């Protein structure tokens, strides 16, 4: 046990781009990116299921690559670009093709793991636009879901791949519905 | 024409919000709230000698630190025994904060409130608790021996012994031509929702009201228990279950210590307070289930018909018993499955151990019961050299024997009587779906290639939709939109969609116009909760009945306005119209306006209901006797007894001859949950259940050491299945509607998980030829069994 009076924590300025917008915060060095997003920036779509890097619920894209925001320190992402689940649907709320596929294939029940799966799927489909079923299962096997038994999730990713195929759309970008500028 | 919604695979209305990241789960609320960290016992059994909090108070940002001594008298009382039972003679529950003794690792000892969770944890680490460790009681044997006690004043660690008996099992077994006795072991697992527990409270000093948000399966009962322990009138307390990230049973338990401490502190401090449990805390302070030891004694004839069955269960319920005897009672009864067993005796001992308490996890004692019965069936088949499906077939209850009353008492205190089901038809379907008869050829082909294949099956009957009741409120607003509320809460079952389907059909309104709210005591104050696969049965029917009241009222008002007999009216597309002359119609929204006599025309549409615009007859009051204003209705559904769903699973596995790793090649489910409201949602429930069944059979266990330390309290070591472990599942439905409720529904929530361990044990045993008596079965355990068998 520590009996000395603890020193107040030093704070650090963080400036990053989140879903295309520059955001700033002053945080202690130990603050997790998941907490920065959820509690400093109030983007609560990113969820925390374990805080030890196993469940994948907290997955966000860091410069386009999937990372576990619960294993990332907020101060380490200064100057970088983060995409969260809030950054996918069109400005008018129209669902992104990956999101829509999750609805159509019943890829979510409680929805708690869902943002992590969606971000993982977006990064995966950017890299592997025409995956087969085994590759999809493999790519989605780093995230835990306690509700669905995964069947709907795997079907959704396959459906989204089909939908995106040949469109030239980067699945990590915010959705632009046809007709919108 | 409005198309029929009941039975349609409608996409879920809750999804777009959740998919956009706009869900509101517990930890998304109260961004400015103070946060709580709990100091938890590192010992499984110890006396608390002293708690020194001074170090914590130095941490910048700490607001308050509380121990048992700081609590008001009512909060110093033990938590309630939620479900008393006459056999539960030695019930013990915990205190919200330890009062001199701790009985499991993880028990709450002190609470820190701070500006944020980081600081609260810093402070919690600086609280010094002096413990005097005591020997821990871990495992069924040590508990049953009674040599060491969990609670000094409870001899034998025995909370309850309960025997249920029909016929003369010992007599029939003794006289039977064949007899087998054996022991089975099932390890612990837990619900493990992806969202942990959490509670947030705000005391509104202006309104003198307390609002509690809790990630709970029973907001009405949380409200009542908070009011009781905080000594507030019920009218001053409201409880809302926000979006919930899964429950699976663990969130039916209440009050958790934090569910009382957080509201208490919020009121005391005049500030919002929130507790969000972390994952390790969830493992050591949220309840577990499943662990049982079973002793089976069965007598049967030469055809494999069971003549007598005598079962003894040791049930480890952990350090406390807040949820009573529900789990072992369910095991004791539901063990019988779809089989006609006339001579049966079951006795269980519910035992204290120094581990996390036990309460229902999806399946709630049924997976254990199914394991016992189905392992018995397999042993009989093996003993007699008969096909395993044939032995089951010979024991099945026939459809013409329904309703089938066993003469036992179920978990709701009512007769254990099956209402419906066609078990032989289910078995025939399963054999076909799994291509049971084609398996020998598949096995032979695999064998030729040096591969080990096995097939197994298991059947279950699941009592669902237990009472006492649920209610529903349906209101047509003057816009024509329909607002629906029911009290129980939702953890991912798609209730908003399913109940909107029910209402759309009953009222003839577009599905899109119906909005459902669940789990908010401000909207509906009477409810029991979401557990036991009861929500669709109970709230589905209650909402249906409430909607019928609204329908009747709409027709009555329209009949007066149009001067047409009610029999000549119909509800279509949000209008009441005259049959055969659809142009003569009134929108439901207008009927809603007309149903509420007004003095003030607050908007244009309200004019028609004002006193001079619509004088009506002057010889009766504007609101007639027995009437009430508004186009709305409330009703309740309270069943005489539970309804019973049923199903059967078959699974084909491959066992690696070298490593004993088990791979699932094929998984088939036949399922009968009566009328399907939304087959897509039901299928999702089954898939999710199967995944949990697979987890429970092959991976999940709570690895306690002899000191009561949980060695695998993280997702790194407690192995929940990923997509890589869960097989594709083929599902076939049988719909035999329940005669017990208007919609004919039987519950579906838990079914998928029940036969998992039993079916996999059956398949693995078939593959390796070594008896399987314990679950879960990791590759190393299976390997050890195979090696031991080789050396015999
Ligand atoms: S919360 Fe980050 S991996 Fe689980
Ligand atoms: S939908 Fe609930 S955890 Fe995945």
Terminal-residue alpha carbon distance, chain B? 72
Res. B2: pLDDT tops 60: no
Q: Looking at the structure, do residues A26 and A75 belong to the same domain, yes or no?
A: yes
Q: Is residue A114 part of a domain?
A: yes
Report residue A178's pLDDT band, with 50, 70 and 90 as the boundaries.
confident
For residue A57, what is the domain's CATH number? Answer: 3.10.20.30
The pLDDT of A77-101, averaged and rounded, is 97
Domain range for residue A29? 11-87
Q: Is residue A169 part of a domain?
A: no
The pLDDT of B291-304, averaged and rounded, is 98
Counted across chains A and B, CB pairs separated by less than 8 A come out at: 192
Question: Searching chain A, which residue's CA lies closest to the CA of residue B681?
Answer: A106
Q: Is residue A106 part of a domain?
A: yes
Q: Looking at the structure, do residues A66 and A26 belong to the same domain, yes or no?
A: yes
Choose from B118, B245, B692 for mutation: most chain A CBs within 10 A. Answer: B245
Question: Searching chain B, which residue's CA lies closest to the CA of residue A49?
Answer: B194
Report residue B92's pLDDT band, with 50, 70 and 90 as the boundaries.
very high
Question: How far apart are the CA of B746 and the centre of ligand 1, in A?
Answer: 36
Residue-level pLDDT at B617: 74
3-class secondary structure per residue, B696-722: HHHCCCCCECCCCCECCCCCCCCCCCC
Q: Looking at the structure, do residues A43 and A103 belong to the same domain, yes or no?
A: no
Q: Which atom of ligand 1 is nearest to the CA of A56?
A: 3
**Domains in chain B, start-ordered, CATH in brackets?**
32-134+197-276 (3.90.1170.50), 363-465+641-791 (3.30.365.10), 467-637 (3.30.365.10)
Residue B494 to residue A109, Cβ atoms within 8 A: yes
The Cα-based distances of B457 to A20, B389, B390, B526, B695 in angstroms read: 53, 8, 12, 41, 17
The token duo for A39 is 């509690």
Q: Looking at the structure, do residues A65 and A36 belong to the same domain, yes or no?
A: yes
The token duo for B403 is 């309703």
Residue B245 to residue A43, Cβ atoms within 8 A: no
Strands (E) in B87-127, as ranges, are: 101-102, 108-114
B304 φψ region: left (φ > 0), alpha (ψ -120 to 50), beta (else):
left
Report residue A180's pLDDT band, with 50, 70 and 90 as the boundaries.
low
- Distance separating alpha carbons of residues A170 and B527, to the nearest angstrom: 47
- Distance separating alpha carbons of residues B352 and B315, to the nearest angstrom: 9
Residue-level pLDDT at A128: 95
Which residues in chain A are contacts of B192 at CB distance < 8 A? Answer: 146
DSSP B250-311: GGGS---HHHHHHHHHHHHHTS-EEEE--HHHHHHHS-BB--EEEEEEEEE-TT--EEEEEE
- Distance separating alpha carbons of residues A34 and A41, to the nearest angstrom: 10
Q: Looking at the structure, do residues A21 and A45 belong to the same domain, yes or no?
A: yes
The pLDDT of B31-59, averaged and rounded, is 97
Instruction: Indicate the residue among A61, A87, A113 that finishes a domain.
Output: A87
Query: Worst-scoring range by mean pLDDT, B1-15, B502-516, B643-657?
Result: B1-15
- Distance separating alpha carbons of residues B24 and B501, to the nearest angstrom: 24
Residue-level pLDDT at B508: 95
Report residue B1's pLDDT band, with 50, 70 and 90 as the boundaries.
very low
Which ligand sits closest to the CA of A142? 1
Q: Looking at the structure, do residues A141 and A83 belong to the same domain, yes or no?
A: no
Instruction: Indicate the residue among A59, A87, A115 that finishes a domain.
Output: A87
Query: Worst-scoring range by mean pLDDT, B436-450, B501-515, B726-740?
Result: B726-740
Residue-level pLDDT at B615: 65
Q: Looking at the structure, do residues A49 and A103 belong to the same domain, yes or no?
A: no
Show the DSSP H helices in B610-678 as ranges: none
Percent of chain B's residues with pLDDT above 70? 99
Res. B791: pLDDT tops 80: no
Quick: pLDDT tens for A127-145: 999 999 999 999 999 999 9
Contact by Cβ (8 Å): B186, B291: yes
Average pLDDT, chain B: 95
Res. A2: pLDDT tops 60: no
CA distance A66 to chain B (A): 17
Please provide the size of chain B in residues: 792
Report residue A56's pLDDT band, with 50, 70 and 90 as the boundaries.
very high
Show the ligand 1 pocket: residues with CB < 6 angstroms: A 48-51, 53-58, 68, 70
Res. B497: pLDDT tops 60: yes
For chain A, what percentages of helix, strand and coil (3-state, to nearest 5) are there? 35, 15, 50
CA distance A51 to chain B (A): 7
- Distance separating alpha carbons of residues B749 and B763, to the nearest angstrom: 25
Q: Looking at the structure, do residues A65 and A111 belong to the same domain, yes or no?
A: no
Residue-level pLDDT at B566: 95
Q: Is residue A5 part of a domain?
A: no
Residue-level pLDDT at A4: 66
Question: Searching chain B, which residue's CA lies closest to the CA of residue A40?
Answer: B31
The token duo for B627 is 């009437």
Residue-level pLDDT at B466: 84
Q: Is residue A133 part of a domain?
A: yes
Quick: pLDDT tens for B404-420: 999 998 888 889 999 98
Res. B42: pLDDT tops 60: yes
Q: Looking at the structure, do residues A27 and A69 belong to the same domain, yes or no?
A: yes
Res. A14: pLDDT tops 60: yes
Which residues in chain B are contacts of A116 at CB distance < 8 A? Answer: none
Which residues in chain B are contacts of A153 at CB distance < 8 A? Answer: 723
Contact by Cβ (8 Å): B507, B550: yes
Residue-level pLDDT at B473: 96
Residue-level pLDDT at B532: 76
Neighbours of B65 (CB within 10 A): 25
Mutate to test the pocket of ligand 2, among B12, B21, B194, B720 (most ligand atoms within 8 A of CB): B194
For residue A133, what is the domain's CATH number? Answer: 1.10.150.120
Residue-level pLDDT at A179: 55
Q: Is residue A172 part of a domain?
A: no
Residue-level pLDDT at B772: 96
- Distance separating alpha carbons of residues B156 and A172, to the nearest angstrom: 61
3-state secondary structure of B758: helix
Q: Which residues contact B81 (CB under 8 A, 6 or more apart)?
A: B88, B91, B93, B321, B322, B324
Quick: pLDDT tens for B165-214: 999 999 999 999 999 999 999 999 999 999 999 999 999 999 999 999 99
CA distance A171 to chain B (A): 15
Residue-level pLDDT at B265: 98
Q: Looking at the structure, do residues A83 and A118 belong to the same domain, yes or no?
A: no
Please provide the size of chain A in residues: 181
The pLDDT of B84-89, averaged and rounded, is 96
Q: Looking at the structure, do residues A82 and A109 belong to the same domain, yes or no?
A: no
Q: Is residue A29 part of a domain?
A: yes
The token duo for B11 is 């996409």
Residue-level pLDDT at B619: 83
3-state secondary structure of B129: strand
Half-sphere exposure of B53 (CA within 13 A, CB side): 19
Q: Looking at the structure, do residues A26 and A72 belong to the same domain, yes or no?
A: yes
DSSP B472-503: EEEEE-TTS-EEEEESS--SSS-HHHHHHHHH
Q: Of the candidates B399, B381, B253, which has an alpha carbon nearest to the alpha carbon of residue B318?
A: B253
Quick: pLDDT tens for A154-172: 999 999 999 999 899 999 9
Q: Is residue A58 part of a domain?
A: yes
Question: How far apart are the CA of A148 and the centre of ligand 2, in A?
Answer: 6
The pLDDT of B425-449, averaged and rounded, is 97
Domains held by chain A: number = 2
């Amino acid at each position: 046990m520590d009996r000395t009076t603890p020193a107040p924590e030093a704070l650090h300025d963080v400036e990053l781009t989140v879903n295309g917008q520059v955001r700033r915060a002053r945080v202690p060095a130990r603050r997790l990116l998941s907490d920065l997003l959820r509690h400093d920036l109030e983007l609560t779509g990113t969820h925390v299921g374990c805080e030890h890097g196993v469940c994948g619920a907290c997955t966000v894209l860091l410069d386009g690559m999937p990372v576990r925001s619960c294993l990332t320190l907020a101060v380490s992402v200064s100057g970088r670009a983060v995409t969260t689940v809030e950054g996918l649907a069109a400005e008018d709320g129209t669902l992104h093709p990956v999101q829509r596929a999750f609805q159509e294939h019943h890829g979510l029940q409680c929805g708690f793991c869902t943002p992590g799966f969606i971000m993982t799927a977006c990064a995966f489909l950017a890299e592997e636009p025409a995956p087969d079923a085994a590759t999809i299962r493999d790519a989605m096997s780093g995230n835990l879901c306690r509700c669905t038994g995964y069947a709907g999730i795997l079907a959704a990713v396959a459906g989204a791949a089909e939908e995106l195929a040949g469109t030239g759309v980067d699945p990590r970008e915010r959705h632009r519905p046809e007709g919108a500028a | 024409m409005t198309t029929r919604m009941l039975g349609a695979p409608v996409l879920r209305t809750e999804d777009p919000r959740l998919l956009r990241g706009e869900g509101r789960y517990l930890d998304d609320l109260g961004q400015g709230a103070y946060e709580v960290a709990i100091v938890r016992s590192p010992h499984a059994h110890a006396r608390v000698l002293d708690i020194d909090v001074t170090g914590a108070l130095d941490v910048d940002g700490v607001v308050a630190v509380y121990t048992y001594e700081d609590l008001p008298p009512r909060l110093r009382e033990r938590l309630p025994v939620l479900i008393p039972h006459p056999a539960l003679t030695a019930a013990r529950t915990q205190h919200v904060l330890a009062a001199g003794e701790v009985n499991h690792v993880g028990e709450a000892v002190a609470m820190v409130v701070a500006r944020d969770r980081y600081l609260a944890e810093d402070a919690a680490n600086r609280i010094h608790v002096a413990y005097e460790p005591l020997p821990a009681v871990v495992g069924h044997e040590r508990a049953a021996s009674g040599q060491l006690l969990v609670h000094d004043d409870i001899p034998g660690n025995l909370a309850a012994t309960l025997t249920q008996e029909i016929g003369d099992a010992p007599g029939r077994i003794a006289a039977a031509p064949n007899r087998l006795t054996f022991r089975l072991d099932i390890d612990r697992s837990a619900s493990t929702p992806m969202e942990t527990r959490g509670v947030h409270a705000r005391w509104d000093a202006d309104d003198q009201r307390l609002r509690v948000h809790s990630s709970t399966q029973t907001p009405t009962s949380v409200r009542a228990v908070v009011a009781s322990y905080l000594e507030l009138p019920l009218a001053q307390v409201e409880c809302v279950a926000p979006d919930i990230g899964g429950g699976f049973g663990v969130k039916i338990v209440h009050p958790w210590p934090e569910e009382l401490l957080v509201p208490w502190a919020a009121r005391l401090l005049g500030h919002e307070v929130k507790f969000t449990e972390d994952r390790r805390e969830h493992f050591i302070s949220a309840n577990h289930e499943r662990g049982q030891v079973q002793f089976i004694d069965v007598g049967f004839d030469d055809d494999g018909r069971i003549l007598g069955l005598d079962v003894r269960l040791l049930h480890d319920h952990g350090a406390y018993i807040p949820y009573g005897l529900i789990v072992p009672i369910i095991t004791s009864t539901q063990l019988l499955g779809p089989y006609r067993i006339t001579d049966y005796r079951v006795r269980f001992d519910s035992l204290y151990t120094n581990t996390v308490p036990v309460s229902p996890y999806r399946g709630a004692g049924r997976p254990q019961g199914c394991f016992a019965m189905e392992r018995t069936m397999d042993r009989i088949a093996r003993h007699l050299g008969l096909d395993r499906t044939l032995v089951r077939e010979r024991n099945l209850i026939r459809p013409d024997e329904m309703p089938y009353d066993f003469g036992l008492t179920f978990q709701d205190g009512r007769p254990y009587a099956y209402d419906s089901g066609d078990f032989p038809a289910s078995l025939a379907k399963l054999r076909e779906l799994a291509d049971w008869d084609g398996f020998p050829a598949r096995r032979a082909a695999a064998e030729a290639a040096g591969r080990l294949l096995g097939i197994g099956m298991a059947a279950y009957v699941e009592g669902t939709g237990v009472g006492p009741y649920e209610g529903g409120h349906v209101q047509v607003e003057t816009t024509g939109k329909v607002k629906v509320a029911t009290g129980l809460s939702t953890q991912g079952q798609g209730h908003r969609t399913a109940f909107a389907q029910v209402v759309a059909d009953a009222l003839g309104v577009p599905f899109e116009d119906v909005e459902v709210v669940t789990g908010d005591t401000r909207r509906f104050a009477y409810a029991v909760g979401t557990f036991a696969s009861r929500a669709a049965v109970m709230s589905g029917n209650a909402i249906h009945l409430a909607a019928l009241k609204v329908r009747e009222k709409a027709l009555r008002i329209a009949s007066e306005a149009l001067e047409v007999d009610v029999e000549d009216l119909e509800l279509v597309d949000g209008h009441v119209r005259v049959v055969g002359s659809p142009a003569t119609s009134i929108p439901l929204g207008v009927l809603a306006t007309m149903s509420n006599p007004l003095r003030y025309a607050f908007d244009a549409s309200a004019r028609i209901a004002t006193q001079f615009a619509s004088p009506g007859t002057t010889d009766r009051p504007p609101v007639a006797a027995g009437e009430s204003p508004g186009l709305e209705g409330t009703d309740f559904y309270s069943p005489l007894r539970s309804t019973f769903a049923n199903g059967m699973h078959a699974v084909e596995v491959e066992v690696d001859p070298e490593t004993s790793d088990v791979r699932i090649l094929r998984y088939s489910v036949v399922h009968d949950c009566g009328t399907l409201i939304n087959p897509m949602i039901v299928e999702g429930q089954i898939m999710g259940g199967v995944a949990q069944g697979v987890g429970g059979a092959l991976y999940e266990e709570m690895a306690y050491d002899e000191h009561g330390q949980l060695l695998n309290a993280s997702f790194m070591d407690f192995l929940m299945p990923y997509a890589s472990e869960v097989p594709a599942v083929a599902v076939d439905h049988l719909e035999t509607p329940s005669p017990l409720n208007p919609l004919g529904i039987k519950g579906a929530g838990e079914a998928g998980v029940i036969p998992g361990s039993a079916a996999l044990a059956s398949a693995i045993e078939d593959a390796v030829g070594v008896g399987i008596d314990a679950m879960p079965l990791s590759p190393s355990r299976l390997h050890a069994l195979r090696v031991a068998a080789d050396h015999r």
